[in-house]
Structure 1
Amino acid sequence: MTKTDLSQRNSKQVNLLEDPVANTLKRMTIPMIYGMVMLMTFNLVDTFFVSLLGTQSLAAISFTFPVTFTVLSFTIGLGIGTSAVIAKCIGKKDTKSAKNVATAAMYLTAIIVACLSLVGYFITDPLFTLLGAQPSLLPLIHQYMDIWYIGSVCLIGPMIGNAVLRASGDTKTPSIIMGSAGLINAVLDPIFIFGFGPVPAMGIQGAAIATLISWLFGLCFVLYILTKKYDLIHTSMLPLKELLSACRDILKIGLPAAGANMLTPLAAAIMTTIVATYGESAVAAFGVGSRLESIACLIVLALSMTLPPFISQNFGAGQLHRVEQAYKVAIKFILVWQILIYFLLAVCAHWIASVFTKEAEVADLIKLYIWILPLGYGLQGIIILTNSSFNALHKPMIALALSFVRLFVCYLPLAYLGSLFYGLAGLFAGALLGNVFMAMISYRLFTKQFIPLEPGTTEQVL
């Protein structure tokens, strides 16, 4: 297959600089939704098979989440930085710099992830003991993490390679890569965990091997696309000066973005601690609600991946009127969509609760969660899309500050105050109110980046 020039490929698919804004965002987002649904489904399958090994194995893999999420947060952050820098270069028609950044991002991420994993490998016992793991769980944690650390370098494929493709306007290929890797993981899980034919049962280690193979497939797939099909990265080493320059540009956005990602699980841990004061039933209900949130906000998450490349390309091309239009179109859609999702959840609350539990107390608390917090998912969508848009405008510190203010000035304090006066219902209502305030702040701050635009002008307050 002959290599395709970047500009030619975009003309065949989505032209982020010329195609109608709303239709372009739609064409970019739908494939991402498919890929994320597939990935989330197979991740649930992964957890299901590990749970069949027993409570100890499930507990062991649960302890790995904070560590694996730390590594994932760094790669996601670097992916955000990569996408923003490349898309801006493409918007300026500077395809050489875009290719340099894409290549540098692969090297940079591989080195950082390898170093993090190497450190993690040598401090496994003290690290997980600090996290609260009992000595009896450490052998199982080693079985999983020792393999996971080896495979983690392959994350440059699905995380960075896909970011490069999205920056160029291609969201269909990343969705195929995500879905295919998830499918491979789901198929291999039972084979390696429980054994099949000549393959011996490997327990929790088998789950890690299945993950490694799926990531390796994703890496090979994306490298083929980037080098052989579209020629988006160099196959030879970059000159040191160009490599360092590209790395600086990526880290300028990537490090704050990674930091913002890591604030979310920290806030979730604090929120869980507050909820825990109301007993195990409250924690169980909150856990169910949190999982429902990731599904209910799927469109928001997909848009948060497709909106930034659009914004960055048009920012690079100086077409700020399209940046503002895209942001407002996405916000309006999310508000309407999430209201519909809220009514669907509210109507189905009783049935949803009965699926997750047979205990009346837990079921009542799940319904309470559904009737209150999802009402603010559209507002939460405004916050998420605003943060990703600021990253796309190469203003990562504003995005980081907004994430901090949202979680630790609005969301958690108001939830805590609500719980003091009105119990668990007050906690949920306070969290909802925090999203209301933060959505107004976020929207106002982003729209202030633009002066009133006259037709055909691209002036901006930056």
Structure 2
Amino acid sequence: MSAANNKSRDLINGDISQTLKRMTVPMIVGMIMMMSFGLVDTFFVSLLGTEPLAAISFTFPVTFTLISLNIGLGVGTSAVIARLAGQGNQDNARETGSGAIMLSSLLVGILAIIGGFTVVPIFSLLGAQDNLMPFIQDYMYIWYFASVFLAIPMVGNSVLRARGDTKTPSIIMATGGGINAVLDPILIFGVGPIPEMGIGGAALSTLISWIICSIWILYLLAKQRGYILPRLLTPKEFMVSSRSILHIALPAAGANMLTPIAGAILTRVVAGYGEEAVAAWGVGSRLESFTTILVLALSMTLPPFISQNLGANKFDRVKQAYWLAVKFVMGWQLLVSILLWLLSGLIAALFAKEQAVAELIQLFLLIVPFGYGLQGIIILTNSSLNACHLPMSALTLSIIRLFVFFVPITVAMGWVFDLTGIFAGAVAANLCMAMVSMYWFRRSLRVLETQTD
């Protein structure tokens, strides 16, 4: 029996909780290091002062937009390759893997070029003041160039996960995060003959680490594993592979890219409260990515489980896995929220030199984290719908979440209760959307089950 069939058998017949644990634990370690990119950058840049910290906070919605595109492309890649590998169609699986990496590099490269020519107008729309623009330019020009090298390992790791390997992607992500953490203080503050580069040094350390990870993943996939072709695809091959990936990837990427768009809107609103508020919002957003790491890891390991069991018409296992993940995430994130509440003062002091910024960071940590478990339900539901090959349902839910609940509620509560209202509104919006998401998934699964009867 082939390795692919063994993986399929394990996902279909193994103990649900143990299977999800086996797949998720390696992802958590790797993603902690991957998410440390933004958090480590934010920490060292905060030592430069409030203006650089506010500047890097403004970059978050924009950088996450390109990252979201890669995530969506990874979702499509994983879904298509897993199906082909499960069918034993290895040639098409390799061709699709090659096409996925070429497609992601092309799309991200185009967006990076556009972004490089529009830094000033885009960040002006976000509310960045003229005094912050030099810092933003120093960071973003390098980061845009680096984003192409981010696309390669992110999509390449999706190829590995589609083949049932969650350990190697974790090692690659952990290595990239470790390299970035080592280079950050050296390039930001300068050491010996290396000059001080300030906020631009944070972007350069990211570029170097992503280049190393790109070379590693390409060698691994093309030479060691044979999961992609060791050449560029012909135009015809590229079109065929891209079409199958984009069927799922475009709605998934669109759903992911809505989050930074909504974040940009709120950043613009928060900017009305001053640079200190923007700096606090940026720190809180980076901490949010880091403290919801388990949710993000589950959102990458739950879909293969769901896809395999749906293919075997084992709907009971799909239901059990989904609700097990939901309950676990709610309990885990509640513990994380309590911990952040208890350590809010210490964390605020760690990330802020000025008392005004520290107080706002602490206010964020006292309120917003209590919605992380609810947000986890939303994320898991979206990834599960993509696994069910219902990407338009996931996209619809994302639109409802952001533009029916999240933005209107936070903005409205901000008008009434100022910055405290914005923070509390985020929790209220996540509560409303979590209930909608659970109902939607239950209904969608019932429809799919009826169709197979």
Distance in 2 (CA, whole Å) between partners of 1:358 and 1:155 is: 31
Paired residue for 1:375? 370
Distance in 2 (CA, whole Å) between partners of 1:317 and 1:418 is: 47
Distance in 2 (CA, whole Å) between partners of 1:129 and 1:354 is: 29
Paired residue for 1:16? 11
The one-letter code of the counterpart of 1:251 is L
- Name the structure with the higher helix share: 2
Report how far residue 201 of structure 1 moved.
4.7
Instruction: Return closer, same or farther for 1:228/1:459 CA change in 2, 3 Å cut-off.
Output: farther
8 Å CA contact 2:23, 2:301 repeated in 1:
yes
Instruction: Return closer, same or farther for 1:67/1:362 CA change in 2, 3 Å cut-off.
Output: closer
Paired residue for 1:172? 167
8 Å CA contact 1:73, 1:261 repeated in 2:
yes
8 Å CA contact 1:10, 1:169 repeated in 2:
no
Q: How does 1:275-294 map to 2 (within 5 A)?
A: 286-287=281-282, 289-294=284-289
**Local SS of the residue matching 1:232:** coil
Distance in 2 (CA, whole Å) between partners of 1:143 and 1:285 is: 21
Paired residue for 1:394? 389
Report how far residue 370 of structure 1 moved.
4.5
Distance in 2 (CA, whole Å) between partners of 1:63 and 1:364 is: 19
The one-letter code of the counterpart of 1:412 is V
8 Å CA contact 2:101, 2:156 repeated in 1:
yes
Is 1:325 the counterpart of 2:320? The answer is: yes
Gaps of 5+ in 2: none
Q: Work out the percentage of aligned pairs sharing the same amino acid.
A: 56
Paired residue for 1:159? 154
**Which structure would you say has the larger Rg?**
1
**Local SS of the residue matching 1:394:** coil
The one-letter code of the counterpart of 2:11 is L
Deviation string 1:149-173 (CA, Å, 9 cap, x unpaired) is 4433222332100111122221111
Q: Which moved more, 1:379-388 or 1:340-349?
A: 340-349
> How many equivalent residue pairs?
453
Deviation string 1:362-409 (CA, Å, 9 cap, x unpaired) is 777666655544333222211110011112222222111111111221
Deviation string 1:224-270 (CA, Å, 9 cap, x unpaired) is 22122221111234454443222112112222222222222232333
Instruction: Return closer, same or farther for 1:194/1:296 CA change in 2, 3 Å cut-off.
Output: closer
Paired residue for 1:44? 39
The one-letter code of the counterpart of 1:396 is P
Paired residue for 2:227? 232
59, 63, 72: which one aligns with 1:68: 63
Report how far residue 285 of structure 1 moved.
5.6
8 Å CA contact 2:348, 2:362 repeated in 1:
yes
Instruction: Return closer, same or farther for 1:91/1:446 CA change in 2, 3 Å cut-off.
Output: farther
Is 1:406 the counterpart of 2:401? The answer is: yes
Instruction: Return closer, same or farther for 1:284/1:189 CA change in 2, 3 Å cut-off.
Output: closer
**Local SS of the residue matching 1:341:** helix
Q: Give the structure-1-normalised TM-score.
A: 0.83
Q: Give the structure-2-normalised TM-score.
A: 0.84
Distance in 1 (CA, whole Å) between partners of 2:445 and 2:7 is: 31
Q: Which moved more, 1:252-261 or 1:55-64?
A: 55-64
Report how far residue 295 of structure 1 moved.
3.3
The one-letter code of the counterpart of 1:70 is T
Instruction: Return closer, same or farther for 1:196/1:21 CA change in 2, 3 Å cut-off.
Output: same
The one-letter code of the counterpart of 2:290 is I
Q: How does 1:48-59 map to 2 (within 5 A)?
A: 48-52=43-47
Instruction: Return closer, same or farther for 1:200/1:343 CA change in 2, 3 Å cut-off.
Output: closer
8 Å CA contact 2:26, 2:170 repeated in 1:
yes
The one-letter code of the counterpart of 1:330 is A
Instruction: Return closer, same or farther for 1:10/1:169 CA change in 2, 3 Å cut-off.
Output: farther
Distance in 2 (CA, whole Å) between partners of 1:138 and 1:280 is: 13
8 Å CA contact 1:14, 1:170 repeated in 2:
no
8 Å CA contact 1:21, 1:322 repeated in 2:
yes
**Local SS of the residue matching 1:17:** helix
RMSD over aligned CA atoms reads: 3.7
Paired residue for 2:264? 269
The one-letter code of the counterpart of 1:170 is D
Is 1:119 the counterpart of 2:114? The answer is: yes
Deviation string 1:285-318 (CA, Å, 9 cap, x unpaired) is 6555444433332211211122123223334454
8 Å CA contact 1:106, 1:161 repeated in 2:
yes
